A and B are shown apart, each in its own frame.
Chain A
Amino acid sequence: MKTVAVVEDNPDNRLLVQAILEDYYQIQEYEDGKSALKGLRGSIPDIVLLDISLPEMDGRDVLKAIRKDDQLHHLPVIALTAHAMTGDREALLAIGFNDYLMKPILDEDDLINAIKNLVGE
């Protein structure tokens, strides 16, 4: 079973993502960017779901650190964001995210398919 790392500060969002994915993937959970970077280096997942609005170190900064890291730079990273501004998707893909999903996640298949597209079953 492949492993999905979820970096998200909202506990209810973490629980929701876990409920959607737990039958298909192993889940690693982190509630902030710094603990995520430390944890990811210790246990490298197959893909990362990364909230953009994290406290202290936001999702863009976490992505930059991932892309610069020798062990982590190859990881597919999906942005999770509650922002709904025009051009967000393009901007996030341009800085190195592999995909983008809006929160709240209203359709479980959107999340599952986005992961499948990047890492398979």
Chain B
Amino acid sequence: MSQAGNFNTSDFNRDALTRLEKLGGEKFFREMIGLFKTHVRKHIDSAGDAVKTNDTETIMRSAHSIRSSAGNVGAVRLFAIATDIEQNSDKDTMSVLKSKIEELDRCFDLTVQWIKYELGERYDENSSGS
């Protein structure tokens, strides 16, 4: 297992960030990162709320949306967890889904830390992407 900082490099794909940086310039890149943070956070919260009401449809839709956003920034493990939730939301018990969403939440926080590590001083703590 290789490490970059305290991060397991197999959980993240630095090339995806590099590609975004090259694709649209600094303003675009910062906006993408900001949108990733706000959009995924919103959908994790939505999935967490949906567990309380046994709303598997919302859980599935939120996981689907997170998966897409995770893929854009190279969040490999976040992508994998969201995929698992999306594909099994109609089979898993709510207890299992709750546990997976909590794992998703922790992985999201770790992903944001990874992005912060990779961007260094360029990281904008307050960027919302809007």
Contact = CB atoms under 8 A, between A and B. Distances in A.
A99 interface: no
Contact of A53 (B39, B64, B72): B64
B39 A108 contact: no
Contacts of B32: 12, 15-16
B28 A15 contact: yes
Contacts of A20: 23
Main secondary structure on chain B at its contact with chain A?
A: helix
Interface string B5-37: 000000000000000100110001001100110
B72 A13 contact: yes
A12 to B, nearest CB: 4
A15 B31 contact: yes
Nearest to A20: B23
Interface residues of B, number: 18
Contact of B72 (A9, A16, A55, A108): A16
B72 A12 contact: yes
B68 A82 contact: yes
Interface string B63-78: 0110111011000000
B28 A19 contact: yes
B100 interface: no
Given A16-B72, A19-B28, A104-B72, A11 B64 contact: no
Contacts of B71: 82, 103-104, 106
Interface of B: 20, 23-24, 28, 31-32, 35-36, 39, 61, 64-65, 67-69, 71-72, 129
Interface of A: 9-13, 15-16, 19-20, 53, 55, 82, 103-104, 106, 108
